[in-house]
Structure 1
Amino acid sequence: MSDLRPDLAVIAANVAQGARVLDVGCGDGALMAVLRDRLGVDARGLEIDPENVSSAVARGLSVIQGNAEADLVDYPDDSFDYAILSQTLQTTMRPDLVLEQLLRIGRQAFVSFPNFAHWRVRLSLLWGGRMPVTRLLPVAWYETPNIHHVTIDDFRALLKERGITVEGAWFLNGDKATTAAAANFRAEHAVFLLQR
Protein backbone atom coordinates (compact mmCIF):
# COMPACT_ATOMS: atom_id res chain seq x y z
CA MET A 1 0.00 0.00 0.00
CA SER A 2 3.05 2.17 -0.52
CA ASP A 3 1.25 4.00 -3.32
CA LEU A 4 -0.92 5.71 -0.70
CA ARG A 5 -0.16 8.73 1.45
CA PRO A 6 1.30 7.40 4.75
CA ASP A 7 -1.80 8.07 6.89
CA LEU A 8 -4.02 6.44 4.26
CA ALA A 9 -1.71 3.40 4.17
CA VAL A 10 -2.16 3.02 7.94
CA ILE A 11 -5.93 3.19 7.55
CA ALA A 12 -5.95 0.71 4.64
CA ALA A 13 -3.83 -1.73 6.64
CA ASN A 14 -6.39 -1.70 9.46
CA VAL A 15 -9.72 -1.92 7.63
CA ALA A 16 -11.34 -5.35 7.72
CA GLN A 17 -11.81 -7.19 4.45
CA GLY A 18 -15.31 -6.81 3.00
CA ALA A 19 -16.23 -3.92 5.33
CA ARG A 20 -18.67 -1.14 4.52
CA VAL A 21 -16.80 2.20 4.49
CA LEU A 22 -17.71 5.87 4.11
CA ASP A 23 -14.69 8.02 3.23
CA VAL A 24 -15.57 11.62 4.14
CA GLY A 25 -13.41 14.12 2.28
CA CYS A 26 -12.24 11.28 0.04
CA GLY A 27 -10.33 13.49 -2.41
CA ASP A 28 -9.78 11.71 -5.71
CA GLY A 29 -10.70 8.33 -4.19
CA ALA A 30 -7.18 6.89 -3.87
CA LEU A 31 -7.93 5.17 -0.54
CA MET A 32 -11.34 3.96 -1.67
CA ALA A 33 -9.85 2.38 -4.81
CA VAL A 34 -7.27 0.48 -2.77
CA LEU A 35 -9.90 -0.68 -0.27
CA ARG A 36 -12.19 -1.84 -3.08
CA ASP A 37 -9.51 -3.51 -5.19
CA ARG A 38 -7.41 -5.16 -2.47
CA LEU A 39 -9.90 -5.83 0.32
CA GLY A 40 -13.27 -6.13 -1.42
CA VAL A 41 -14.60 -3.23 0.63
CA ASP A 42 -17.95 -1.61 -0.19
CA ALA A 43 -16.54 1.94 -0.27
CA ARG A 44 -18.62 5.09 -0.58
CA GLY A 45 -17.31 8.66 -0.60
CA LEU A 46 -18.35 12.21 0.20
CA GLU A 47 -16.21 14.99 -1.27
CA ILE A 48 -16.67 18.77 -1.45
CA ASP A 49 -14.42 19.48 -4.47
CA PRO A 50 -16.20 18.79 -7.80
CA GLU A 51 -12.94 17.99 -9.65
CA ASN A 52 -12.05 15.37 -7.05
CA VAL A 53 -15.57 13.93 -7.30
CA SER A 54 -15.13 13.61 -11.09
CA SER A 55 -11.74 11.92 -10.65
CA ALA A 56 -13.16 9.44 -8.15
CA VAL A 57 -16.20 8.65 -10.29
CA ALA A 58 -13.88 8.14 -13.29
CA ARG A 59 -12.19 5.37 -11.20
CA GLY A 60 -15.58 3.68 -10.94
CA LEU A 61 -16.11 4.76 -7.34
CA SER A 62 -19.38 5.69 -5.67
CA VAL A 63 -18.72 9.30 -4.62
CA ILE A 64 -21.14 12.18 -4.19
CA GLN A 65 -20.42 15.85 -3.82
CA GLY A 66 -21.22 17.16 -0.39
CA ASN A 67 -20.06 18.93 2.73
CA ALA A 68 -19.33 16.87 5.84
CA GLU A 69 -20.76 19.48 8.16
CA ALA A 70 -24.07 19.76 6.33
CA ASP A 71 -24.57 16.33 4.79
CA LEU A 72 -23.51 13.71 7.34
CA VAL A 73 -26.80 14.21 9.21
CA ASP A 74 -28.57 12.55 6.24
CA TYR A 75 -26.89 9.17 6.81
CA PRO A 76 -28.65 6.65 9.08
CA ASP A 77 -27.09 5.42 12.33
CA ASP A 78 -24.59 2.55 11.99
CA SER A 79 -24.72 2.63 8.16
CA PHE A 80 -21.05 1.70 7.87
CA ASP A 81 -18.45 -0.41 9.63
CA TYR A 82 -15.98 2.48 9.32
CA ALA A 83 -16.33 6.20 8.71
CA ILE A 84 -13.03 7.76 7.62
CA LEU A 85 -11.98 11.39 7.91
CA SER A 86 -8.40 11.82 6.72
CA GLN A 87 -6.64 15.19 6.83
CA THR A 88 -10.02 16.94 6.95
CA LEU A 89 -10.91 17.42 10.63
CA GLN A 90 -8.86 20.62 10.92
CA THR A 91 -10.64 22.15 7.93
CA THR A 92 -14.15 21.92 9.40
CA MET A 93 -15.92 24.70 11.28
CA ARG A 94 -17.03 22.39 14.11
CA PRO A 95 -14.72 19.38 14.25
CA ASP A 96 -16.37 18.17 17.45
CA LEU A 97 -19.76 17.88 15.76
CA VAL A 98 -18.29 16.21 12.68
CA LEU A 99 -16.62 13.67 14.96
CA GLU A 100 -19.97 12.95 16.65
CA GLN A 101 -21.57 12.36 13.25
CA LEU A 102 -18.76 10.01 12.18
CA LEU A 103 -19.28 7.88 15.26
CA ARG A 104 -23.04 7.86 14.76
CA ILE A 105 -22.75 6.76 11.12
CA GLY A 106 -19.90 4.28 11.53
CA ARG A 107 -19.40 1.60 14.15
CA GLN A 108 -15.79 2.82 14.21
CA ALA A 109 -14.11 5.92 12.81
CA PHE A 110 -10.62 6.59 11.51
CA VAL A 111 -9.47 10.19 11.92
CA SER A 112 -6.10 11.50 10.74
CA PHE A 113 -4.76 15.03 11.03
CA PRO A 114 -1.54 17.07 11.01
CA ASN A 115 -0.13 17.68 14.49
CA PHE A 116 0.40 21.40 14.94
CA ALA A 117 2.48 20.76 18.09
CA HIS A 118 5.26 18.98 16.16
CA TRP A 119 8.70 20.29 17.09
CA ARG A 120 9.30 21.86 13.64
CA VAL A 121 6.09 23.88 13.93
CA ARG A 122 7.06 24.99 17.43
CA LEU A 123 10.57 25.92 16.27
CA SER A 124 9.26 27.89 13.32
CA LEU A 125 7.01 29.91 15.61
CA LEU A 126 9.67 30.35 18.29
CA TRP A 127 12.58 31.40 16.08
CA GLY A 128 10.88 32.87 13.05
CA GLY A 129 7.68 34.08 14.65
CA ARG A 130 5.74 32.87 11.61
CA MET A 131 3.40 30.03 10.76
CA PRO A 132 5.46 27.27 9.16
CA VAL A 133 5.47 26.12 5.57
CA THR A 134 6.72 22.54 5.45
CA ARG A 135 6.50 19.52 3.15
CA LEU A 136 3.36 18.37 4.99
CA LEU A 137 1.92 21.87 5.53
CA PRO A 138 2.92 23.25 2.12
CA VAL A 139 0.96 26.50 1.88
CA ALA A 140 1.13 29.87 3.62
CA TRP A 141 -1.26 30.62 6.47
CA TYR A 142 -3.50 32.75 4.25
CA GLU A 143 -3.94 29.97 1.66
CA THR A 144 -4.39 27.01 3.98
CA PRO A 145 -7.71 25.21 4.31
CA ASN A 146 -6.77 24.50 7.95
CA ILE A 147 -8.90 26.62 10.25
CA HIS A 148 -8.29 24.70 13.49
CA HIS A 149 -4.74 23.96 14.53
CA VAL A 150 -5.24 20.72 16.42
CA THR A 151 -2.56 18.90 18.38
CA ILE A 152 -2.47 15.27 19.44
CA ASP A 153 -2.97 16.28 23.07
CA ASP A 154 -5.91 18.55 22.12
CA PHE A 155 -7.52 15.69 20.24
CA ARG A 156 -7.01 13.24 23.10
CA ALA A 157 -8.58 15.76 25.50
CA LEU A 158 -11.64 16.09 23.22
CA LEU A 159 -11.99 12.32 23.08
CA LYS A 160 -11.83 12.06 26.87
CA GLU A 161 -14.35 14.87 27.29
CA ARG A 162 -16.79 13.17 24.89
CA GLY A 163 -16.29 9.64 26.26
CA ILE A 164 -14.89 8.32 22.98
CA THR A 165 -12.72 5.20 23.12
CA VAL A 166 -9.41 4.97 21.27
CA GLU A 167 -9.15 1.52 19.68
CA GLY A 168 -5.84 2.28 17.96
CA ALA A 169 -3.42 5.15 17.42
CA TRP A 170 -0.55 5.54 14.96
CA PHE A 171 1.92 8.40 14.76
CA LEU A 172 3.92 9.41 11.71
CA ASN A 173 7.07 11.44 11.36
CA GLY A 174 7.40 12.16 7.67
CA ASP A 175 6.58 8.91 5.91
CA LYS A 176 7.63 6.64 8.79
CA ALA A 177 5.88 5.42 11.92
CA THR A 178 7.11 6.76 15.23
CA THR A 179 6.32 5.63 18.76
CA ALA A 180 3.60 7.03 20.98
CA ALA A 181 6.26 8.32 23.39
CA ALA A 182 6.17 12.13 23.22
CA ALA A 183 4.00 11.91 20.10
CA ASN A 184 2.63 15.41 20.65
CA PHE A 185 6.19 16.71 20.19
CA ARG A 186 7.63 14.16 17.74
CA ALA A 187 4.82 13.20 15.34
CA GLU A 188 3.90 15.26 12.29
CA HIS A 189 0.66 13.35 11.74
CA ALA A 190 -1.64 11.19 13.82
CA VAL A 191 -4.15 8.49 12.91
CA PHE A 192 -6.75 7.38 15.44
CA LEU A 193 -9.26 4.53 15.31
CA LEU A 194 -12.22 5.48 17.49
CA GLN A 195 -15.35 3.86 18.86
CA ARG A 196 -18.23 4.88 21.11
Structure 2
Amino acid sequence: MSLRPDLALIAAHVAPGSRVLDVGCGDGSLMAALRDNRGCDARGLELDPADVAAAVARGLSVVQGDADTDLADYPDASFDYAILSQTLQTTRRPDLILEQLLRIGKRAFVSFPNFAHWRVRLSLLWGGRMPVTRSLPLAWYETPNIHHVTVDDFRALVAERGITVEGCWFLSRDRGTGSAMANLLAEHAVFLLHR
Protein backbone atom coordinates (compact mmCIF):
# COMPACT_ATOMS: atom_id res chain seq x y z
CA MET A 1 0.00 0.00 0.00
CA SER A 2 1.27 3.45 -0.92
CA LEU A 3 1.34 6.11 1.78
CA ARG A 4 0.24 9.71 1.30
CA PRO A 5 3.41 11.78 0.59
CA ASP A 6 3.53 13.51 3.99
CA LEU A 7 3.08 10.15 5.74
CA ALA A 8 5.84 8.60 3.62
CA LEU A 9 8.19 11.41 4.69
CA ILE A 10 7.33 10.83 8.33
CA ALA A 11 7.72 7.05 8.04
CA ALA A 12 11.15 7.47 6.44
CA HIS A 13 12.37 9.59 9.37
CA VAL A 14 11.06 7.55 12.32
CA ALA A 15 13.87 5.55 13.88
CA PRO A 16 13.38 1.77 13.63
CA GLY A 17 12.05 0.13 16.78
CA SER A 18 10.56 3.36 18.17
CA ARG A 19 7.44 3.70 20.30
CA VAL A 20 5.01 5.89 18.35
CA LEU A 21 1.65 7.52 19.07
CA ASP A 22 -0.24 8.54 15.92
CA VAL A 23 -2.85 11.12 16.91
CA GLY A 24 -5.65 11.34 14.37
CA CYS A 25 -4.36 8.12 12.84
CA GLY A 26 -7.27 7.62 10.41
CA ASP A 27 -7.42 4.05 9.17
CA GLY A 28 -3.93 3.31 10.51
CA SER A 29 -2.00 3.43 7.21
CA LEU A 30 1.04 5.11 8.76
CA MET A 31 0.94 2.90 11.85
CA ALA A 32 0.85 -0.26 9.71
CA ALA A 33 3.83 0.96 7.67
CA LEU A 34 5.79 1.79 10.82
CA ARG A 35 4.98 -1.60 12.35
CA ASP A 36 5.67 -3.63 9.21
CA ASN A 37 8.65 -1.74 7.75
CA ARG A 38 10.35 -0.11 10.74
CA GLY A 39 9.55 -2.55 13.57
CA CYS A 40 7.87 0.19 15.60
CA ASP A 41 5.45 -0.23 18.48
CA ALA A 42 2.74 2.03 17.02
CA ARG A 43 -0.39 3.10 18.89
CA GLY A 44 -3.18 5.34 17.66
CA LEU A 45 -5.86 7.77 18.77
CA GLU A 46 -8.70 8.47 16.33
CA LEU A 47 -12.02 10.32 16.58
CA ASP A 48 -13.90 8.62 13.73
CA PRO A 49 -15.37 5.24 14.80
CA ALA A 50 -15.24 3.83 11.24
CA ASP A 51 -11.52 4.62 11.00
CA VAL A 52 -10.93 3.09 14.45
CA ALA A 53 -12.66 -0.10 13.27
CA ALA A 54 -10.58 -0.17 10.06
CA ALA A 55 -7.33 0.26 12.00
CA VAL A 56 -8.25 -2.40 14.56
CA ALA A 57 -9.15 -4.76 11.69
CA ARG A 58 -5.52 -4.36 10.53
CA GLY A 59 -4.38 -5.62 13.93
CA LEU A 60 -3.41 -2.16 15.17
CA SER A 61 -3.76 -0.80 18.70
CA VAL A 62 -6.09 2.18 18.25
CA VAL A 63 -8.51 3.78 20.69
CA GLN A 64 -11.31 6.14 19.91
CA GLY A 65 -10.65 9.56 21.36
CA ASP A 66 -10.41 13.28 20.80
CA ALA A 67 -7.02 14.98 20.61
CA ASP A 68 -8.51 18.14 22.13
CA THR A 69 -9.42 16.35 25.37
CA ASP A 70 -7.76 12.94 25.60
CA LEU A 71 -4.05 13.66 25.16
CA ALA A 72 -3.92 14.80 28.79
CA ASP A 73 -4.42 11.15 29.81
CA TYR A 74 -1.07 10.02 28.37
CA PRO A 75 1.99 10.04 30.68
CA ASP A 76 4.96 12.32 30.05
CA ALA A 77 7.62 11.04 27.62
CA SER A 78 5.75 7.78 27.05
CA PHE A 79 6.62 7.69 23.32
CA ASP A 80 9.67 8.35 21.20
CA TYR A 81 7.47 10.12 18.63
CA ALA A 82 4.01 11.69 18.78
CA ILE A 83 2.62 12.23 15.28
CA LEU A 84 -0.13 14.61 14.20
CA SER A 85 -0.61 14.44 10.43
CA GLN A 86 -3.08 16.73 8.66
CA THR A 87 -4.98 17.19 11.95
CA LEU A 88 -3.53 20.31 13.62
CA GLN A 89 -5.84 22.65 11.70
CA THR A 90 -8.92 20.69 12.87
CA THR A 91 -8.24 21.01 16.60
CA ARG A 92 -9.75 23.68 18.85
CA ARG A 93 -6.42 24.86 20.30
CA PRO A 94 -3.51 23.86 18.06
CA ASP A 95 -1.02 25.55 20.39
CA LEU A 96 -2.11 23.39 23.34
CA ILE A 97 -2.15 20.25 21.20
CA LEU A 98 1.44 20.99 20.19
CA GLU A 99 2.44 21.30 23.86
CA GLN A 100 0.75 17.97 24.61
CA LEU A 101 2.53 16.23 21.72
CA LEU A 102 5.90 17.41 23.00
CA ARG A 103 5.00 16.36 26.54
CA ILE A 104 3.95 12.85 25.47
CA GLY A 105 6.66 12.27 22.86
CA LYS A 106 10.38 12.98 22.94
CA ARG A 107 9.87 14.26 19.41
CA ALA A 108 6.79 15.26 17.45
CA PHE A 109 5.97 15.17 13.77
CA VAL A 110 3.35 17.67 12.65
CA SER A 111 2.07 17.97 9.08
CA PHE A 112 -0.58 20.36 7.78
CA PRO A 113 -1.91 21.97 4.62
CA ASN A 114 -0.42 25.40 3.96
CA PHE A 115 -3.24 27.92 3.63
CA ALA A 116 -0.80 30.52 2.20
CA HIS A 117 -0.05 28.46 -0.92
CA TRP A 118 -0.24 30.61 -4.06
CA ARG A 119 -3.32 28.78 -5.39
CA VAL A 120 -5.20 29.54 -2.18
CA ARG A 121 -4.12 33.19 -2.34
CA LEU A 122 -5.10 33.45 -5.99
CA SER A 123 -8.51 31.92 -5.36
CA LEU A 124 -9.22 34.47 -2.64
CA LEU A 125 -7.81 37.37 -4.66
CA TRP A 126 -9.58 36.70 -7.95
CA GLY A 127 -12.64 34.77 -6.88
CA GLY A 128 -13.18 36.30 -3.46
CA ARG A 129 -14.18 32.91 -2.11
CA MET A 130 -12.58 30.27 0.07
CA PRO A 131 -10.68 27.95 -2.26
CA VAL A 132 -11.42 24.39 -3.20
CA THR A 133 -8.19 22.85 -4.42
CA ARG A 134 -6.64 19.41 -4.79
CA SER A 135 -5.12 19.72 -1.33
CA LEU A 136 -8.20 21.42 0.19
CA PRO A 137 -10.99 19.56 -1.63
CA LEU A 138 -14.02 20.50 0.50
CA ALA A 139 -16.13 23.66 0.49
CA TRP A 140 -15.73 25.95 3.49
CA TYR A 141 -18.97 24.70 5.06
CA GLU A 142 -17.96 21.01 4.77
CA THR A 143 -14.32 21.17 5.82
CA PRO A 144 -13.15 20.01 9.26
CA ASN A 145 -10.48 22.75 9.10
CA ILE A 146 -11.18 25.41 11.70
CA HIS A 147 -7.75 27.06 11.83
CA HIS A 148 -6.09 28.22 8.63
CA VAL A 149 -2.41 27.78 9.41
CA THR A 150 0.43 28.81 7.13
CA VAL A 151 4.06 27.72 7.12
CA ASP A 152 5.10 31.12 8.49
CA ASP A 153 2.39 31.01 11.19
CA PHE A 154 3.66 27.62 12.35
CA ARG A 155 7.29 28.74 12.30
CA ALA A 156 6.33 31.75 14.44
CA LEU A 157 4.41 29.58 16.92
CA VAL A 158 7.28 27.14 17.47
CA ALA A 159 9.77 30.02 17.82
CA GLU A 160 7.48 31.77 20.33
CA ARG A 161 7.18 28.57 22.38
CA GLY A 162 10.92 27.82 22.33
CA ILE A 163 10.43 24.61 20.36
CA THR A 164 13.33 23.33 18.27
CA VAL A 165 12.72 22.44 14.62
CA GLU A 166 14.87 19.36 14.00
CA GLY A 167 13.71 18.94 10.41
CA CYS A 168 11.18 20.30 7.95
CA TRP A 169 9.98 19.20 4.55
CA PHE A 170 7.66 20.94 2.11
CA LEU A 171 5.53 19.37 -0.61
CA SER A 172 3.93 20.75 -3.73
CA ARG A 173 2.10 18.42 -6.10
CA ASP A 174 3.34 15.57 -3.87
CA ARG A 175 6.99 16.42 -4.55
CA GLY A 176 9.52 18.17 -2.37
CA THR A 177 9.98 21.91 -2.71
CA GLY A 178 12.53 24.24 -1.14
CA SER A 179 12.31 25.86 2.26
CA ALA A 180 13.10 29.44 1.21
CA MET A 181 9.69 30.22 -0.33
CA ALA A 182 7.73 27.42 1.34
CA ASN A 183 5.04 29.80 2.63
CA LEU A 184 4.15 30.65 -0.98
CA LEU A 185 5.03 27.46 -2.87
CA ALA A 186 4.30 24.52 -0.52
CA GLU A 187 0.89 22.88 -0.42
CA HIS A 188 1.82 20.81 2.64
CA ALA A 189 4.41 21.09 5.39
CA VAL A 190 5.97 18.45 7.65
CA PHE A 191 7.91 19.46 10.76
CA LEU A 192 9.93 17.32 13.18
CA LEU A 193 10.10 19.05 16.57
CA HIS A 194 11.59 18.58 20.04
CA ARG A 195 12.13 20.53 23.22
TM-score, length of structure 1 as denominator length: 0.99
| One-letter code aligned to 2:105 | G
SS, match of residue 148 in structure 2: coil
Residue 25 of structure 1, CA deviation: 0.0
Matched, 1:52 2:54: no
Post-superposition shift, 1:27? Answer: 0.1
Q: Tell me if 1:183 matches 2:182.
A: yes
Q: Which amino acid aligns with 1:137?
A: L
| Equivalent residues in 2 for 1:1-196, closer than 5 Å | 3-196=2-195
- State percent identity of aligned pairs: 78
Equivalent-residue separation in structure 2 for 1:178 and 1:151 (angstroms): 15
Secondary structure of 2:75's match?
Answer: coil
1:181 corresponds to which letter in structure 2? A
Q: How far, CA to CA, are the matches of 1:81 and 1:156 in structure 2?
A: 22
Distance in 2 (alpha carbons) for counterparts of 1:136 and 1:115: 9
Deviation at 1:135, TM superposition (A): 1.0
Write the distance in 2 (CA, Å) between the matches of 1:69 and 1:135: 27
Moved over 4 A (4+): none
Aligned length: 195
CA distance in 2, matches of 1:29, 1:100: 23
1:30 shift after superposition: 0.2
Q: Residues of 2 paired with 1:12 and 1:174: CA distance?
A: 19
Give TM-score, length-normalised by structure 2.
Answer: 0.99
Deviation at 1:29, TM superposition (A): 0.1
CA distance in 2, matches of 1:71, 1:181: 36
Structure 1 gaps, min length 5: none
**Offset at 1:148?**
0.2
CA-CA distance at 1:174 after TM superposition: 1.5
Paired residue type of 2:62: V
The alignment yields a C-alpha RMSD, in angstroms, of 0.6
Read off the aligned partner of 2:12 and give its amino acid letter: A
What is the CA–CA distance in structure 1 between the aligned matches of 2:122 and 2:133, rounded to whole Å? 12
Using the TM superposition, give the Cα deviation of residue 138 of structure 1 relative to its aligned residue in structure 2, in angstroms.
Answer: 0.5
